[in-house]
Structure 1
Amino acid sequence: MTQPSTQRPGNAASQAQRILCQGRYETRAMLSNGEQLVIAIVLPLMALFGLTFTNLLDGVETTAINAATPGVLTLCVVSTAFTGQGIATGFDRRYGVLRFLSTTPLGRAGLIYGKVIAVLSVLAIQVVVICSTALLLGWTPAPGGLPLAAVLLVLGAAAFTALGLLIAGTVRPEATLAITNLAWVLLAGIGGVLFPAASSPAFIRPVIELLPSAALGDGLRSALIDGSASGPSLLILAVWTVLAGLAATRYFKWN
């Protein structure tokens, strides 16, 4: 005669364990996707070389590589956390992957936190690749600003992941694809990512300075070039992280 199961409810995985498992799954999925790797590695490397061997950043720092590296690190965050996650999540909704996840105890918050873990894991790889390449090109960051830069990267990854998920969870996949790609181009060009917000036209500068892209880009430039902390950048990123995270948790739709 078959004995009844003796597994106790207490043996179920905790929410933290579920989030870590989701994070590992998301990380493997991102690293196995060729398009994601192009966005995550190839395009930032192209931007690094392009900005280093041109005069586009004259006046920002004494050497082009020192001026270019903080912006390219910001581009890595936007590429992976916002564009990459937004597109992937949008099409996961279309193909029913998220509908399946909605039947599990993971929940919206668990899905978001799992994706943040994946973004941070891939971002760590990006940072190693970009910083190693930059060092070979003569990059000399301010040592005192390195811990602050790490904090800014984590905050930026959280903010842009939440924004990407908010878009992917509320509009159609085609719209997500268009919005995130267009935003990537605009933020890279005039959103304070590759170029300081101070270099933007005066009539739009107050708006750009409030964007998370400008906060992250200018904050990293202050930390890695001058070794100084930018209080406004930290505050703006923290506010965007909280607001976007709450909005994504509240309005994200599984299907």
Structure 2
Amino acid sequence: MSTPSLFAGERTTRPATRLRRVISQGRYEAATMLRNGEQLVLMVVMPLLGLIALTATPLLDGMGYSRVEMAAPGILALCALSTAFTGQGIATGFDRRYGVLRFLSTTPLGKGGLIAGKVIAVLVALALQVVIISTVAAFLGWRPPVAGVLLGIPLLILGAITFTALGLLIAGTVRPEATLAITNLGWILFAALGGIVLPAGKFSASMADFVQWLPSGALGNLMRGALLESRLDIFAMVILLVWAALCSLAAVKWFKWN
């Protein structure tokens, strides 16, 4: 007759897998982001105002397409910039200031897991943005080709990954106040002069040559190529992939928890 173990009534638990930890962190980050009123203004209100303004004004006239056809791809790219770069950069910077990241550093999540969790949160928020912006654009007469939509979705995800890594690189290496200034200024410059909303044809030749090398210009060109012509811009794709790889590696290497 066997002697009952003192621990017979206890359940054996195993550590969560890396994937489960990342998904849990992503769920937490997404919930926090969607409850933040300032984040929602940046993610939804600003892109909507941009879409309406570009559709109502002649800024994009003479490009061979209707105003809404030219505006919608750039505004969708702007959503990735707003949520991934500015939103995540500011949130992470202040999490770092108030010691939240220091506590996370004691968990098995690690830098790579933290970045992956934030990317998941950005993609959740971006999906909501795409639905809202596309619905409004459809009411304004936007009818993108199906093939272009299927091509544009992974390109937008790549853009979100790139800008998330860039935002985290800034938030993890400079002071929170500097992060706030850099990411807000970066949003303005990328949106106005970075080729993400306005195509290169609206700039001078020398400016257009410079803009195409930026991640904003590459994403803008990719989205317009996909949603206007169902075409993959190979050059812009390579540029964005290089930015994504460099920013991700740099964020993992130099990110500081406190």
Structure 1-normalised TM-score? 0.96
- Looking at CA atoms only, which structure, 1 or 2, has the larger radius of gyration? 2
Question: Where does residue 120 of structure 2 map in the other structure?
Answer: 117
Question: Where does residue 153 of structure 1 map in the other structure?
Answer: 156
Equivalent residue runs for 1:99-114 within 5 Å: 99-114=102-117
Q: Distance in 1 between matches of 2:90 and 2:6?
A: 48
Structure 2-normalised TM-score? 0.95
Q: Distance in 1 between matches of 2:167 and 2:152?
A: 22
Could you list the per-position Cα deviations for residues 147-194 of structure 1 after superposition, in whole angstroms to 9, with x for gaps in the alignment?
110011010000000000000000000000000000100111110011
SS in structure 2 at match of 1:56:
helix
Could you list the per-position Cα deviations for residues 203-223 of structure 1 after superposition, in whole angstroms to 9, with x for gaps in the alignment?
232221111111111111111
Equivalent residue runs for 1:63-74 within 5 Å: 63-74=66-77
Letter in 1 for 2:181: A
Q: Deviation above 6 Å: which 4+ runs of structure 1?
A: none
Q: Aligned-pair distance for 1:8?
A: 5.4
1:39 maps to which of 35, 39, 42: 42
Question: Where does residue 247 of structure 1 map in the other structure?
Answer: 250
Asked if 1:141 corresponds to 2:144, the answer is yes
Amino-acid identity (%): 56
Equivalent residue runs for 1:199-238 within 5 Å: 199-238=202-241
1:52 maps to which of 52, 55, 63: 55
Letter in 2 for 1:219: L
Asked if 1:175 corresponds to 2:178, the answer is yes
Could you list the per-position Cα deviations for residues 31-54 of structure 1 after superposition, in whole angstroms to 9, with x for gaps in the alignment?
000000000000000000000010
Equivalenced residues, count: 253
Question: Where does residue 22 of structure 2 map in the other structure?
Answer: 19
Which runs of 5 or more residues in structure 1 are unaligned?
Answer: none
Letter in 2 for 1:72: I
Could you list the per-position Cα deviations for residues 62-85 of structure 1 after superposition, in whole angstroms to 9, with x for gaps in the alignment?
310001000100110000000000
Q: Aligned-pair distance for 1:199?
A: 2.2
Letter in 2 for 1:241: A
Q: Distance in 1 between matches of 2:186 and 2:29?
A: 23
Which runs of 5 or more residues in structure 2 are unaligned?
Answer: none
SS in structure 2 at match of 1:203:
helix
Question: Where does residue 191 of structure 2 map in the other structure?
Answer: 188
CA RMSD of aligned residues (A): 1.5
Q: Distance in 2 between matches of 1:3 and 1:36?
A: 52
- Residues 99, 234 of structure 1: CA spacing in aligned structure 2 closer, same or farther, 3 A cutoff? same
Q: Distance in 1 between matches of 2:102 and 2:11?
A: 28
Q: Distance in 2 between matches of 1:218 and 1:197?
A: 8
Partners of 1:209 and 1:215 within 8 A in 2: yes
Q: Distance in 2 between matches of 1:108 and 1:185?
A: 28
Q: Distance in 2 between matches of 1:62 and 1:109?
A: 42
